[in-house]
Amino acid sequence: MIVLALMGSAIAMWGYRSCARDSYYYGSTTQPYSGGGHGTGTRYHSYGHTSWWHSGSSSSSYGSGSSHSSGVSRGGFGSSGHAASS
Amino acid sequence: MQRLRTTPRPDWQKIVESQGFLFHSPDEQPYWDEGVYYRFTSAEIDAVEKASYALNDMCLKAVQHVIDNKLFERFTIPPPFVDYVVSSWERDEFTLYGRFDLAFDGRNPPKLLEYNADTPTSLLEAAVIQWHWMKDMLARPGSKIDQFNSIHERLIEAWRSFKSIYDGTLYFSAMADVVEDHMTVAYLRDTAAQAGMETRYIAVEQIGWDRDRRCFVDEFAQQIGCCFKLYPWEWMVREQFAPNLLEGNTRWLEAPWKMILSNKAILAVLWELFPDSPYLLPAAFDPEPVGPSYVRKPILGREGANVTVTVNGRTTLETEGIYGGPYVYQRLYPLPRFDGQYPVIGSWMVNGYACGMGIREDATPVTGNTSRFVPHVFA
């Protein structure tokens, strides 16, 4: 639960950053990298443009997993118990 | 290509945490290390970019070869899933991303060590954290640096493209309680949201199967139409819900055909098809063709686990892990060494574009889940 609380905290921070990020353009253009250069002046970050975490939708997934349908089974994926990163 | 020392930003932990990077020091060991960085020339970056495009092209041809020659047993793809994989390929199902791991010393052509084509991570670090680090470095007097990094923009662009194919709710799923995995999909979800997609998160363990409606559902019994899962295909097709994959009509990202490319058996196929490529190392399903010095990797191994290094017939290094054979054997290629550290380049492909890179380094030649991420610049 501590882990989840920390994650929620970070997500909230992202959301906070997004409030101020309109001044966060890097360089003078918002054009995506076109392949000619490699970075500076060709990209910007725009976290949380849609601020999905403010809607509370992200936290809903941390529920108990109880189902509204009796015909639903769960736990059929995720039995490995390992991190899936590579 | 140089490895340079620098002064970490004061309160760097708080800075990167504010950017969503919580797993910078797991188990009190530094994973994100901004006390050093790698500096490249523009020509060296061009070499990485060129190699990545060439490798991507070869990989796609190799998938076709595997399918045409029915090599699925080599890849240990369960027979019931062969048609599932093939039809996914024939429908040209969308692929978001992948990461080539390259050995590169700045002088010789980059060499492919492996391709993380299904569940690559270190994405947030590469796309965001090192970018902000570079911006802070730019503020220092005399800095004229740049970074090979448009990963973030390419991700948003990719989702915009995908939205024209699928405009329903896009689910993002990772193992519960695994911070790295969760934050990676949280970041990816953010890029999809910025592209205008409606998104939801569901833990892998919470994905449900509705026996009456014969479909995968979320916690609220809503059908999952499309799901990005940070969960390997080779596990999915062997777990309890595996048969339901064939019956349900959920669209999964990465696509099922990535099962072929994320399997290290592809290294042997690539070498068979393109032995003259400057970007490939000899690889085979037995050690003899690759010579007396080789690296043995489980074809479904992860994070550098169960890798053995053999030099002139003698095993010199063996990592622990849970994975067994089958194995692929790849000719040993000495990684460059800087200050006693071995860097591996992770070159990102997003939506078909080579668009950035990250570097992991380790005190041993095998990059594992404790290898540090260090930023890069070029000038």
Instruction: Write out residues 66-95 of B within 8 Å (CB-CB) of A.
Output: none
Taking the CB of residue B324, how many other CB atoms lie within 10 A of it?
10
Residue B321 in 3-state DSSP? coil
Residues B36, B182 share a domain: yes
Is residue A14 predicted with pLDDT exceeding 90? no
Q: Is B201 on the interface with A (CB under 8 A)?
A: yes
Is residue A35 predicted with pLDDT exceeding 50? no
Give the pLDDT band of residue A81 (cuts 50, 70, 90): low
In a domain, B358, yes or no: yes
Q: Is A19 on the interface with B (CB under 8 A)?
A: no
Residues B216, B311 share a domain: no
Distances (CA, A) of B293 to B37, B102, B270: 30, 18, 19
pLDDT at B302: 86
∠ CA(A33), CA(A35), CA(A40), 5° rounding? Answer: 50
Residues B361, B301 share a domain: no
Residues B226, B289 share a domain: no
Measured between beta carbons, the chain B residues lying within 8 angstroms of A38 are 42, 45, 49, 146-150, 378
In a domain, B341, yes or no: yes
Determine if the peptide bond prior to B326 is cis (ω within 30°).
yes
Unique residue bearing structure tokens 């493209």: B161
What are the residue ranges of helices labelled H in B248-315? 258-261, 265-273
* Count of structural domains, chain B: 2
The interface pTM score, or ipTM, of the predicted complex is: 0.88
CA distance A58 to chain B (A): 6
- List the single residue in A32, A67, A75 with the smallest CB-CB distance to B150: A32
Residues B321, B202 share a domain: no
Residues B289, B240 share a domain: no
Residue B214 in 3-state DSSP? coil
Instruction: Choose one of B314, B331, B348: the last residue of a domain.
Output: B331
In a domain, B351, yes or no: yes
Number of helices followed by number of strands (H, E) in chain B = 11, 19
Sheet holding B283-284, edge to edge: B283-284, B327-331, B294-298, B308-311, B314-318
B357 vs A3, more confident: B357
Unique residue bearing structure tokens 């037995």: B286
Measured between beta carbons, the chain B residues lying within 8 angstroms of A73 are 208-209, 211
In a domain, B274, yes or no: no
0.90 cut: is pTM over it? no
CA distance B104 to chain A (A): 18
Residues B169, B110 share a domain: yes
- Assigned token pair, B243: 């048969």
Q: Is A8 on the interface with B (CB under 8 A)?
A: no
pLDDT at B27: 82
Q: What is the pLDDT of residues B87-97, one digit of tens each?
A: 999 999 999 99
Mean pLDDT of A32-51: 33
CA distance A21 to chain B (A): 12
Residues B183, B54 share a domain: yes
Measured between beta carbons, the chain A residues lying within 8 angstroms of B178 are 83-85
Sign, CA dihedral B74-B300-B84-B95, equals: negative
Task: With CB atoms and an 8 Å threshold, state whether A85 touches B182.
Answer: no
Task: With CB atoms and an 8 Å threshold, state whether A13 touches B206.
Answer: no
How far apart are the two ends of chain B, measured CA to CA in Å?
10
Task: With CB atoms and an 8 Å threshold, state whether B239 touches A77.
Answer: yes
Instruction: Choose one of B331, B349, B369: the last residue of a domain.
Output: B331
Residues B161, B47 share a domain: yes
Query: Where is average pLDDT lowest: A5-19, A23-37, B324-338?
Result: A23-37
Q: Is A23 on the interface with B (CB under 8 A)?
A: no
CB B128 within 8 A of CB B19: yes
Q: In angstroms, how far is CA B162 from the centroid of its own chain?
A: 20
* Residue spans of chain B under pLDDT 50: none
Measured between beta carbons, the chain A residues lying within 8 angstroms of B146 are 37-40
- Assigned token pair, A21: 């990020």
- List the single residue in A44, A60, A77 with the smallest CB-CB distance to B204: A77
In a domain, B259, yes or no: yes
CB B370 within 8 A of CB B31: yes
Residues B180, B41 share a domain: yes
Unique residue bearing structure tokens 């339901």: B244
Q: What is the pLDDT of residues B56-80, one digit of tens each?
A: 999 999 999 999 999 999 999 999 9
Phi, psi of B105 (to 5 degrees): -115, 5
Instruction: Write out residues 120-159 of B within 8 Å (CB-CB) of A.
Output: 120-122, 128, 131-132, 134-135, 138, 145-150, 152-154, 157
Task: With CB atoms and an 8 Å threshold, state whether B205 touches A78.
Answer: yes
Residues B308, B225 share a domain: no
In a domain, B268, yes or no: no
In a domain, B318, yes or no: yes
Residues B193, B286 share a domain: no
Q: Could you list the residue range(s) of the whole structural domain that residue B346 is in?
A: 2-263+336-378
In a domain, B178, yes or no: yes
